[in-house]
Chains A and B, each alone.
Chain A
Amino acid sequence: MTAAPQNSFSELYSAYAAGCIDPAFAMMLEAQSLIRADVRGSVAVSEMIAGNFLEAAPAARMSAGALERTLALIDALEVPVEIQRAAGKSAGDAINELLSLPEPVRSAALDAAGQQGWQMLGLGLKRLKLDVGSYMDVELYRIAAGSRIPRHSHGGNEFTMVLAGGFTDERGTYGPGDVSMNGPNDTHQPVADEDEVCYALAVRDGGLRFTGVMGMVQKLLGVR
């Protein structure tokens, strides 16, 4: 595993601001920014920087009649379309829990719950696959309060961030915004906190490797 150099810290923020980051990590960073004020501040400043450059940029030449064509399109689109969120019955009682998750996980989870629904993985554990347009697997896990997950290993490298509640494994205790990383050779046996349902977002490389950026992602997200 590569250790991130001390000074590469801003690189993921700039990649995020400019839209050059994998959507799975973008989602993880956005969710983390809702949980942690320092991350929120760094993301906000990064986007302000980018916005400033857009505002100050020299103008490109638009083709003749561009404004008129746009106004005509606006007229054609001026039928208000309310986008309904089909949360679906499969979300069941968990719907209120999903509604309280940080964006953008919340929207992606509501979409997924309405479409393919949850997979039961065992007593107290279920999984929802999220479609965020990444080549990596992005999954939301729900672990019932106090549930003990059987010891398991991971197919590839996996980053798991707690969104709500918390869990404890051999290495430590994780609360909202904390990220745990597991490699292909790691096994662990997480136990959810007694008093609260735990939601966790997992990003897994499914055979491809994070190598090279691993250290940086770890450092940025504060992986323990």
Chain B
Amino acid sequence: MVALPFLKTDNARSYPRKARRVFDHTVRIADPVMRERHADQMAAIAERRCRNAFSELFSYYAPRVKAFMLRLGAGDAEAEELAQEVMIAVWQKAGMYDRQQASVSTWIFRIARNRRIDAQRRQRRPELNADDPVLQPPEIQTPDETVSREQLDAAVRQRLASLPQDQLILVQAAFYDGLSHSEIARAFNLPLGTVKSRIRLAFMRLKGELEGGI
């Protein structure tokens, strides 16, 4: 049924994959202005426990986290509950957020992703652990990593914006919806080889390995 049966958790397989059915073939790119604004709001939550900042962040992200959960096949009530739990985790863990390590959206995405995995697994430890490694980006910086995470994030956004639409939409299906290459091939009615080569090319571009090329 899926290309990578042994990579997916059993629960992921039993989860209804509505993504394939409701797939809207449009793709959007984040507005770079929002990045700093959201990071400032996180700082206000962390430093002053500012409820206004939280409310603003909630207004922006709760509906989008809910959309992410819906997209992955959760029911409306479940998606809303998960979105609420993710936002509570954002409030609780705000002190661990480091704007130099990740954009707010990437940080919240990690929480949302792991929360969803936990929900599917019905783990004994449903609460997000404060020491959850996903909230603690690697601190090791080796000399060859001359580009900071902030610079890399800005570059990835820029490269996403210049990616051809036919690649971008497949990248979204793979990295956001979590579809395997063969699922994507079926959803977009494309030969598997085409899917693989487009995503590979796109990923190389996004990593900056083809700078100036093509």
A residues sitting closer than 8 Å to B (CB atoms) are 5, 7-15, 17-23, 25, 30, 33-34, 37, 40-42, 44-63, 66-67, 69-71, 73-74, 77, 83, 85, 103-104, 106-107, 133-135, 205, 208-213, 216-217
* Cβ 8 A contact of B84, one of A30, A51, A73: A73
Given contacts A8-B196, A10-B200, A52-B160, are A66 and B80 in contact (CB under 8 A)? yes
Most buried by B among A7, A47, A61: A47
Cα distance A173–B46 in the bound complex, in angstroms: 46
The answer to whether B9 touches A58 (Cβ under 8 A) is no
Give chain B residues whose Cβ lies under 8 Å from the Cβ of A134. 9
The answer to whether A20 touches B176 (Cβ under 8 A) is no
Cα distance A74–B57 in the bound complex, in angstroms: 14
Interface residues of B in 108-122 (CB under 8 A from A): 108-110, 112-114, 116-117, 121
The answer to whether B196 touches A22 (Cβ under 8 A) is no
Given contacts A11-B181, A15-B180, A63-B80, are A55 and B64 in contact (CB under 8 A)? yes
The answer to whether B66 touches A18 (Cβ under 8 A) is no
The answer to whether B133 touches A103 (Cβ under 8 A) is yes
Cα distance A103–B135 in the bound complex, in angstroms: 11
User: What residue of chain B has the Cβ atom nearest to residue A25's Cβ?
Assistant: B7
Give chain A residues whose Cβ lies under 8 Å from the Cβ of B145. 37, 40-41
Given contacts A17-B175, A210-B6, are A70 and B30 in contact (CB under 8 A)? no
The answer to whether B88 touches A74 (Cβ under 8 A) is yes
The answer to whether B112 touches A71 (Cβ under 8 A) is no
Given contacts A49-B171, A58-B28, are A23 and B9 in contact (CB under 8 A)? yes
User: What residue of chain B has the Cβ atom nearest to residue A73's Cβ?
Assistant: B88
Interface size on B, residues (CB 8 A): 88
The answer to whether A212 touches B6 (Cβ under 8 A) is yes
Cα distance A141–B183 in the bound complex, in angstroms: 37
Cα distance A9–B203 in the bound complex, in angstroms: 10
B147-166 interface bits toward A, Cβ cutoff 8 Å, 1 = contact, 0 = none:
00100110011001000000
The answer to whether B200 touches A7 (Cβ under 8 A) is yes
Sample 28 A-B pairs with CB under 8 A, ordered by A number.
A5-B196, A9-B200, A11-B199, A18-B178, A25-B7, A33-B138, A40-B138, A41-B207, A47-B106, A51-B102, A51-B103, A52-B157, A53-B175, A55-B64, A57-B28, A57-B68, A58-B64, A60-B64, A62-B80, A62-B83, A67-B59, A70-B84, A133-B121, A135-B9, A208-B6, A209-B6, A212-B4, A213-B4
Indicate whether B42 reaches chain A with its CB closer than 8 angstroms: no
* Cβ 8 A contact of A22, one of B7, B156, B177: B7
How distant is A116 from chain B, measured CB to nearest CB, in Å? 15
The answer to whether B7 touches A71 (Cβ under 8 A) is no
Give chain B residues whose Cβ lies under 8 Å from the Cβ of A77. 88, 92
User: What residue of chain B has the Cβ atom nearest to residue A106's Cβ?
Assistant: B133
How distant is B120 from chain A, measured CB to nearest CB, in Å? 9
Cα distance A12–B176 in the bound complex, in angstroms: 13
Cα distance A213–B67 in the bound complex, in angstroms: 30
How distant is B60 from chain A, measured CB to nearest CB, in Å? 8
Given contacts A49-B171, A83-B130, are A57 and B206 in contact (CB under 8 A)? no
Give chain B residues whose Cβ lies under 8 Å from the Cβ of A46. 175, 203
Give chain A residues whose Cβ lies under 8 Å from the Cβ of B175. 13-14, 17-18, 46, 49-50, 53
Cα distance A12–B133 in the bound complex, in angstroms: 19
Interface residues of B in 194-214 (CB under 8 A from A): 196-197, 199-200, 203, 206-207
How distant is B198 from chain A, measured CB to nearest CB, in Å? 10
- Which 8 residue pairs of A and B lie closest in terms of their CB atoms, listed nearest first? A18-B178, A51-B106, A59-B63, A55-B105, A20-B178, A104-B133, A14-B174, A103-B133
